[in-house]
Amino acid sequence: MMGFKDVFLQHPERRYIMFGGGGGVGKTTFSAAAAYWLASHGKKVLVFSVDPQASLTDIFKRDIFGKGPVKIMDNLWAQEIDADKHIKAYQQEIRQKILDMYGLPAVPEEIENYIQAASAEPAMEESAMFDAVVDMVMKGAYDYYIYDLVPLGHALYYLSMAKVYDEWINKVTKLREEMREYEEMVSRIRREKVTEQDQILQELLYIKNRINTSAGILTDK
């Protein structure tokens, strides 16, 4: 029978390790234990939880909630993302951007309602988590990232959506390039409109990049 050691030895390229399963089976605990073992064998490991119910704070008996990566011992860092704080800060960024872009004194009521409604969606917390994970992955230089699995449905949705989104944004990019050709021919186009288009395109590309990174983490590519 193959064991854990064998799997890690045979697949050194698998750096994103997740423990999945139903509620109460011990995913978070095992993530911690696997992280511990790898760290004590010289690997630089980040273990984190995306499960709002489980608690690495309890498991490690250290307060790590919302504190960024906390060093538990040599080579081992643990992180618990405070999704709420993340979302609230994010909302403020969006509000400020709207005020700046349109020179408004306050955010219009229907826009504010939209912001609140979107944030109340259950998928918001999950997608905020995913984005926070992308941040961690892009910043950090860990040998291993270990975590307990997000709700299966959501993870798989991300994967299928990543592909569709890719195709959609490629179409939009093509459109934008065609526009650019005419921009050179005709000088009537207002500069501001063009810049705004570019900005939007930048945003779409940024989002595409984030989503693809998320998908890459799940498929370990």
Restricting to residues 3-42, which ones interact with another protein according to CB under 8 A? 3-5, 7, 11, 14, 17, 19-22, 24-27, 29-30, 32-34, 36-37, 40
**In the block, which residue shows the tokens 């409109």?**
193
Angle, nearest 10°, between helix axes 109-120 and 83-102?
160
| Contacting another protein within 170-199 (CB under 8 A) | 172, 175-176, 178-179, 182, 185-186, 196-197, 199
CB nearer to another protein: pick between 34 and 50: 34
Q: Which is nearer to another protein, 52 or 108 (CB)?
A: 108
The CA distance from 61 to 71, in Å, is 13
Residues 58-97 within binding reach of another protein (CB under 8 A): 58-61, 72-73, 87, 90-91, 94, 97
Q: Which stretch binds another protein (CB under 8 A): 63-71, 125-133, 138-146?
A: 125-133
Binding of residue 128 to another protein (CB under 8 A): yes
Beta carbons within 8 Å of 195's beta carbon, 6+ residues apart: none
Residue 168 Cβ vs another protein, minimum distance, rounded to whole Å: 6
- Judged by CB under 8 A, which of 15, 82, 165, 213 binds another protein? 165
Q: Which of 110, 141, 184, 191 binds another protein (CB under 8 A)?
A: 110
Q: Compute the least distance from the CB of residue 161 to another protein, in Å.
A: 6
Nearest residue (CB) to another protein, 69 versus 129:
129
> What token pair was written down for 213?
């990174």
How many Cβ atoms are within 10 Å of 79's Cβ, its own excluded?
22
